[in-house]
Amino acid sequence: MSSRNPNDRGQVFPLYAMVVVGMVFAALVFFVFGQAAVVRSNAQGAADAAALAAAREARDNLLPRLDLATLQPEDWRDVLKGKAFYMEGACGAAEDFARLNDAQGTCSRSLLSFTVEVTTDGTVGDSIVPGTRDMHAKASAVAEVVPRCELGPVPAPSATPSPTPTLTPTPAPTGPPSPGPVVIKCKGGKTIRFDPLNPDPWSTLARRLFDVRLAG
């Protein structure tokens, strides 16, 4: 029987050390990529939330001094198409929401669609991969306000009966007649009756008239 050469053990040890070092390096690289994925996920979450915040801000606020109780049918059609929103604060709400999620955001609008691009405040941090220490994650999202209702049948004005002769003078009308309820037809067969004399708050009504969702 041949005996094991003691030099074999010394030759195997450097190879073993190289394998261990390689495995440790690979583990660190995977950790860096995992950390980068977390930062990227945070950026996308911040972008989604900020875009939705802009769309909700627009949906929940009408133009100043707009009185729903006085609107004519054509005016209601514009309201239900989303043409009466107060847009000025929408992008500001998106940028504020991005800051709450530790990111900086920019917002732009096209009709009822809001595009938000964010850059995270945090970075990947120190790592063995060159160039990642100061790397910020970026992401974008688009949210939109989607009309889901339309004006229902507009009742025809009732015929005015001929006045009955009377000896008692008829008092002059003091103002225009009170408007009747507005019938609104929505998807899913739902009907909303807006009563101008007892209206719901717009922020409550808006959630029934419009959907807010991420696009794409």
User: Is 146 inside a domain boundary?
Assistant: yes
E strand or H helix at 23, and its extent?
helix 6-59
Please give the C-alpha separations between residue 143 and each of 47, 61, 93, in angstroms, as whole numbers.
Answer: 10, 17, 13
pLDDT in tens, 53-66: 999 999 999 999 89
Residue 78 phi/psi, 5° resolution?
-65, -40
Nearest partner of 143 among 91, 81, 86, 85, judged by Cα: 91
State mean pLDDT over 127-153.
81
Any domain includes 9: no
Classified as helix, coil or strand, 138 is strand
Report how far residue 117's alpha carbon sits from residue 119's, in angstroms, rounded to the nearest whole number: 7
Q: Which amino acid is at 154?
A: V
Backbone angles phi, psi at 30, to 5 degrees: -60, -35
Task: Tell me the per-residue pLDDT of 172-214, one tens digit each, with 9 for 90 and over.
Answer: 555 555 567 899 999 999 999 999 888 888 989 999 999 999 9
Identify whether 5 is part of a domain: no
Neighbours of 163 (CB within 10 A): 7
β strands within the chain, DSSP E: 103-110, 113-123, 136-147, 149-151, 182-186, 191-194, 210-214
Which pLDDT tens digit goes with each residue over 9-51? 556 556 555 655 555 555 544 445 555 556 678 889 999 999 9
Q: Render pLDDT for 144-176 as a digit per residue (tens, 0 to 9).
A: 999 999 998 876 554 445 555 444 455 555 555
Give the pLDDT confidence of 54-106 residue by residue, as tens digits.
999 999 999 998 998 888 888 999 999 999 999 999 999 999 999 999 999 99
Has residue 105 been placed in a domain? yes
Domain count, the chain: 1
Per-residue model confidence (pLDDT) at position 180: 75
pLDDT at 128: 46
Q: Where in the sequence is the domain holding 195, given as residue range(s)?
A: 15-155+179-214
